[in-house]
Amino acid sequence: MLRAHAPRPARNALATSGPYGLPMAAATEVRALLAGTSLPDDLVDSLLEGASPLWLLGQAPEQVAADLALCHPPLRSGEVRVIAHPLGDGSGHKVSVVTPDRPGLLAGSAGALAGSGLTITAAAASTWAQAGLAVQRLVVEPAAPGPPIDWEPVGARLRASLAGGSAGPRVGFTPCPPVAVSCTDHGVDRVVVSVRAPDRVGLLWAVASWFEERGCNIEVANVDAEGGTATDTFVVHGPVDADALATHLAGRARASLPWPITCGLSTGLAVGRGAARLATAPLRAALRR
């Protein structure tokens, strides 16, 4: 059963850098918050050390601690843990998911939520390869005005989608330009992929399922949508054809220049100035005219 819980008050973390990519005060606070739980100290150390900084820095220490607390006791075979609570500002619900790690998890979650009439406005995910564990943090809100969310069927959809053994849900996604995609080698067959595109229901599913269909595993994800534009960053294990992904999301390989140029350049610089390979299909096709 998917439960909805009231949020805990958030506090701002200090800016002094500490271990694990967390601000020093935040790492200390996460440990203090988990000290009163059943999590063993060595498990807390392992989770903090192995987590992605993108995932750790996405929330206040209270929220990081709450997500890590879901990792204990160990998952039973086929178990998927999901918990939801309303955000304090009334902007939606935070959904935390803990599940055994396997390819296609993010696509499964995004598809299940989209199929439940929910749009994802922010998301972060991290995996722990040695532990075979994955944790997702998703902020969702109804895609259209309607009655309060019935979390029971939402939970059932998520469990069915993430438990494995069947193909994940498919979503009615409509491609829409402009789209910018940049890639940077991250070593050991890993690529940092940045995507900027018009935000709409099913976008995260379209990106994540595209990776899954090509045998690429998402190890880290950070997604943010603001002002009608989604800005997503993924660490992916496997080769990525950025032109093909941009074309898949835009629906065409030729498009007008202004927005793809500006967003593509800013995305590339954010990933790594000289190292990033700007790869927007609309931009490249337009330049070949």
- The CATH number assigned to the domain holding 44 equals 3.30.70.260
Question: Residue 36: which domain range?
Answer: 3-162
Measure the CA angle with vertex 106, ends 202 and 103; round to 5°: 130
Give Cα 205 to chain centroid, integer Å. Answer: 10
Same domain, 156 and 189: no
Domain boundary among 162, 192, 213: 162
Q: Please report the pLDDT score of residue 142 as a whole number.
A: 93
Number of domains in the chain: 2
Looking up tokens 């491609």 gives 175
Tell me, yes or no, whether 110 lies in a domain.
yes
Return contacts of 237-240, CB within 8 angstroms, 24+ apart: 237/189, 237/190, 238/189, 238/191, 238/211, 238/214, 239/189, 239/191, 239/214, 240/183, 240/191, 240/193, 240/211, 240/214, 240/216
Same domain, 152 and 13: yes
Same domain, 156 and 275: no
Same domain, 44 and 147: yes
Same domain, 150 and 185: no
Q: Which residues of 114-136 are buried (b: 16+ CB within 10 A; e: fewer)?
A: bbbebbbbbbbbbbbeebebbbb
Same domain, 41 and 138: yes
Tell me, yes or no, whether 173 lies in a domain.
no
Same domain, 131 and 198: no
Same domain, 29 and 155: yes
Q: Who contacts 286 (Cβ-Cβ below 8 Å, separation ≥6)?
A: 254, 255, 256, 257, 260
Domain boundary among 162, 197, 220: 162
pLDDT digits (tens), the chain, 289 positions:
343 333 333 333 223 334 344 555 577 889 899 998 899 999 999 998 888 777 777 678 888 899 999 999 999 988 999 999 998 887 799 999 999 998 899 999 999 999 999 999 999 888 998 899 999 999 999 989 989 999 999 999 998 999 875 557 788 899 999 999 999 998 888 999 999 999 988 999 999 999 999 999 998 898 998 889 999 999 999 999 999 999 999 997 644 333 443 333 333 323 332 223 333 333 333 333 3
Tell me, yes or no, whether 242 lies in a domain.
yes
Same domain, 40 and 74: yes
Domain boundary among 162, 193, 228: 162
Tell me, yes or no, whether 35 lies in a domain.
yes
Q: Please report the pLDDT score of residue 112 as a whole number.
A: 94
Tell me, yes or no, whether 169 lies in a domain.
no
Tell me, yes or no, whether 255 lies in a domain.
yes
Q: Who contacts 122 (Cβ-Cβ below 8 Å, separation ≥6)?
A: 58, 138, 139, 223, 224, 225
Tell me, yes or no, whether 168 lies in a domain.
no
Strand partners, 222: 124, 233
Q: Please report the pLDDT score of residue 88 as a whole number.
A: 83
Same domain, 7 and 130: yes
Tell me, yes or no, whether 194 lies in a domain.
yes
Distance CA 46, CA 115 (A): 35
Measure the CA angle with vertex 103, ends 71 and 241; round to 5°: 135
Same domain, 154 and 186: no
Same domain, 153 and 261: no
